[in-house]
Every structure is written in structure tokens, then in C-alpha cells.
Amino acid sequence: MTHTTEGKVIGVNGNMISVKVDGIVSLNEVGYVKVDNRRLKAEVIRIRGQQAELQVFEMTRGIGVGDPVEFTQELLAVELGPGLLGQIYDGLQNPLPELAEQCGFFLDRGIYLDALDRERTWEFTPTAAKGDTVTAGDTLGTVPEGIFKHRIMVPFDKDEAYTIESIAAAGSYPVTDTIAVIVDGRGRKHELTMLFNWPVKRAIETYEERLKPEKTLVTKVRTVDTFFPVALGGTYCTPGPFGAGKTVLQQVTSRNAEVDVVIITACGERAGEVVETLKEFPELIDPRTGRTLMERTIIICNTSSMPVAAREASVYTGVTLAEYYRQMGLNVLLLADSTSRWAQAMREMSGRLEEIPGEEAFPAYLESVIASFYERAGLVRLRDGSQGSVTIGGTVSPAGGNFEEPVTQATLKVVGAFHGLSRERSDARKYPSIHPLESWSKYQGIIPADRVEYARSVLTRGNEVGQMMKVVGEEGTSLNDYIYYQKAEFIDFCYLQQNSFDPVDQAVTTERQERVFDFMEEILRADFNLTDKSEARNFFADLRQKFRDYNGAEWDSDAFHAREKELKQLVGKYIVKEGE
């Protein structure tokens, strides 16, 4: 490539460099600073006259005033094409296993590898023909990628009408081979391959229509699907203090959610948590296919020990890959863990730019940046009539579990569901530790909202009685209030809590959730013939234990029906019949 713009470093501040530019540069353009016979990748984040500030995606050790900088005239982008699924990338889309193989235990600076394998061949089947008119996002053909048909599309920047002059016959090709030649209105020819680049900070919008997310995204976590649902194409956040189970909940969701593709963006988590993800995922079995879950997963790994600029890159890389698979009519779940560290990276960079700080020294534009990220989620209708979706779930790690801090508040303004994790519930080993009274959702779940609201009202009243009992003791409450307290404990113990180590209870189908909720609602609405608190305590203790065994029985098995019958007999002994 010919570099038409160059510059010299005139200042270094952490991982930000100031460059005097000789020529024209653009915001978000990629530049390379030369140091120690290496080229370190950087991105333009501010331009003032002939001076540009760049954030460097590597450690800036050794960079000095006068070092040369080359600008590429290209925006920070990712490679799109077949071969993304099953990969583990860093924030700049370098394949980490290949990088580790080349560098050893410690990754060297300035080494950038191709995101897609240039040697591997793909079985291409054309779906378009010579003479067809196509535009951005139209399908030229397909290749098999795991269990999916990967659509080979016209690059998304080709936004005018083109005529196909030639297209490759069915056969095996590497991603760099020309598979079609298209001609624009001025007669110019464009050769297309199976891969193309797309700027990560520009949303992919080559669909026909954006739709309202209404269908529930089934996660098989009862608390989520029933009480605080997420919509397919919607957004949600999971804030909570350190150690409250955010990462574990995300991993369980990624395994069991009824979506086609899962993208995990570890944008600044601790290295230990990422190692756990990298070790577990290749060995997990996908319940849909019986093969490894990794075949439909992409992991973008950027731990908190890596340069802060790479945290931002990893977030945008993840959402761009998600939008790409949405263009194929697939449902994609993007999990970002943790957006707080991304925000901290923004705060650090804002300080180096000497911008006027907002609340708690975060940049004043924090809310708009977070909003623009979550806005890239959505359910869309494509030109061929099919639908695809990107659902975004982000964890937030507020210091001290304070949900009033700026990152949590900025996130809550734009998401459709809030799964607030509680330190108290986490310490009590209640999993998932989603607080049932503080969390909320704007979406429709698998159970009608009025019935869920009734269950929450029992939880609310039971919590009030529990708080009162801490002051006046059990003897200071009426029997009726005490029964409400026991009913609330029953909901918590038997429905909200889920055993992720139990092969049955770790993932609960919607059919089972509906049946169990129906049974639980009968118990909540029933009047019980209990003479004193001791009898009430013993009855609900027996009920909770039997219900927990019921939750562990294989769905629709003899054991399931036997335990359900036993439960109904127990409840029937104490329930007040009509007319009594």
C-alpha cells in the first residue's frame, strides 16, 4: 500500500501519542508508529490542525519524540468472511492461538496476523447468476460453516446497483480467490472475494427494516425467562459487585440461550476468568448439535492486563461480527464482560486528552457512547424476507456494588432489562443472585405479565414481613403475615434459585417453566389451614424440600410425575377448600 500521509511523534502520554501530521488524516484512521524495528498499530482519536492524537493498541515503551508514524488511509476495521466461528481473537482480531504459537508465552508487540485463514478452502455454491443486479448485502452464494450456510455477500460499502459480469462455478476456493466480478453504472469492474473489511465503528445497516423486539429470548434460567425476560434483538445489563456471579451467569446464558451464534467479548475481565472461559468452551457440548459449543461461538479476549485502548477495540469488534452474522438471518447473542472496564479506559484516555470531565471524572460523552453501542442491537427484516437479530447483554462492575455510579446509570437509560446482582444473595449462595425486587424488564416473558406481577407482590409483602421480623421477632407477626413470609421464601428457594451443577435444573425449558409456575401460582393463591407458626414452618419446609427434588427430576419422567403427585397430596392436606 502507498502511504500518502506521514508524521512525527511530538509527545507521549501513556498509551496516547501526539503526532505532527504532514498531510490529511481522518478520525478513526489507522496509523503505525515505528519503534525498535516494529510497527505498532494506533487509531486517530482527535485532530487539531496539523496535530493528531492517537491511541496505541500496544505498550508504548520505547516510543520517543521524532519517531515516524505512517497513516494508512483506512479506518479501524475487521475482516468479515467464512471462518470466524470457533475462533479466539484479541481486540484487534488477531487469532490468539496462532499468535501464541508464533510468539510463545509472552506476546510480542507489533505482530498482526490475518484474522481469516488464507490457506483453508471453502465449498462455494453460487446462488446468483451472470447478468443479475445486486447491491450491498445481497447474497452471491453460500459456503457451509459448521451447522450454518454462510452467505457470501456483496460488501456493505457497495451501495449502488451493480451487474454481475461473472461468478465462480461451484467448487472449492480459498477466501482470497475472486468469486465474482461486478460492474457499476459507469462500467468499472470490481473483483469480489469471500472476505472484505468493514469499519468497526460504523453500524451495518444493509437490511430492509428494523422491527420491534417482541419474541422472548429463552435463556433457560427461570428468573430471567419468567420474571425479567430478554427479547430477541433486545438489550439488557447485569450490574453487580465483584464476586456476585456476573461471569458465571453469562457463561450459563451463552451455553443455554436459544440463539444461533454466541459472541463473548471479554473487554477487560481479569485474566483468570478469561482462562476459565477458554478452557471450558471447547469442551462444552452444544445441546442442539451434540458437537462442541465452540463451533458456533466467537471469543474476543482482552484482559485487564492488556493496553486500555484494546478494550474499546474489542467491544466494537464484537458488535461488528454480530451484525455480520445477523445479515445472514441468524440470531446472535453478544455478551460484553465488563463494560465498566471499557468505560474506565475511556476515562483514562479522556484524561490524557485533557477534556472537561463529567461525573466521577468519566468523559461527558459517556452516556452517548454507551447508548450508541447498545443501539447496534436489534431485530431486522432482510431483503429476502428472513429475519436476524443481535441481542446485547453487558455486565457492569460498579465499585462497591453502587448502582448509582455513572456507568450503571448510563447503561440503565438505554437497555430493556436490568438484572441487578445482589451481594447479599451472592453471600447466601443464592444462584443466580439477581435481586427479585430491584431488577426489572420492559419485555414480555414466557408467563403473562399480570401473573408474574402477582408472584412479585407476594415476594414484596414477604420481604416486608421478613424485615419486620428482624425487629420484632417471629412472635411479633400475625399468622397470616408469617404465611406470606413463608410463601415468599418458597418462591425464592424453589423457583428463583437454580442449581447450575444439576444436569436437569441447570437449564429449564419453557414448557417446564410454564408447568412449574402454574403449580407454584396455585400454592401462592391458596389459603392454608395452618393452626400456628410451628405447623406453617414445618409444612413449608417440607414443601420446599419436595419441590427442590421435583425440580431435579427429569422432565416428563416417571420420577417427575411421582414427585408432582406427592406434592399435590401434601398441598391438598392443608389447603382450604371452597365452602369450608
Cα dist from 286 to 230, 257, 315, whole Å? 21, 11, 25
Q: Is the pLDDT of residue 242 over 60?
A: yes
pLDDT value of position 303: 65
When pLDDT is cut at 50, 70 and 90, the band that residue 311 belongs to is confident
pLDDT value of position 372: 96
Quick one: average pLDDT of 486-515? 94
Instruction: Kindly report, residue by residue over 528-548, the tens digit of the pLDDT.
Output: 999 999 999 999 999 999 999
Binding residue positions for ATP: 240-247
CA distance linking residue 256 with residue 286, whole number of Å: 8
CATH code of 5-75, in short, is 2.40.30.20
CA distance linking residue 15 with residue 41, whole number of Å: 11
Domain at 449-574, CATH from 3.20.20.140, 3.30.1360.30, 3.90.1010.10, 1.10.1140.10: 1.10.1140.10
- 8 Å CB contact between 486 and 556: no
pLDDT value of position 1: 44
pLDDT value of position 124: 97
Q: Could you give the angle at which helices 339-352 and 366-374 cross, rounded to 10 degrees?
A: 140
Nearest to 421 by CA among 546, 298, 237: 237
Instruction: Kindly report, residue by residue over 386-402, the tens digit of the pLDDT.
Output: 999 999 999 999 988 88
Fold of 117-194: OB fold (Dihydrolipoamide Acetyltransferase, E2P) (2.40.50)
> If you ran DSSP here, which 8-state letter would residue 576 be given?
P
Q: Where are the domains of the chain?
A: 5-75, 117-194, 209-441, 449-574
pLDDT value of position 312: 87
Residues whose CB is less than 8 angstroms from the CB of residue 22 and which lie 6 or more positions away in sequence, other chains included: 5, 6, 7, 50
pLDDT value of position 571: 94
CA distance linking residue 203 with residue 199, whole number of Å: 8
Peptide bond into 338 cis (omega under 30): yes
pLDDT value of position 3: 47
Binding residue positions: 240-247
Helix, coil or strand: residue 249 = helix
To which CATH superfamily is domain 209-441 assigned?
A: P-loop containing nucleotide triphosphate hydrolases (3.40.50.300)
- 8 Å CB contact between 92 and 51: no
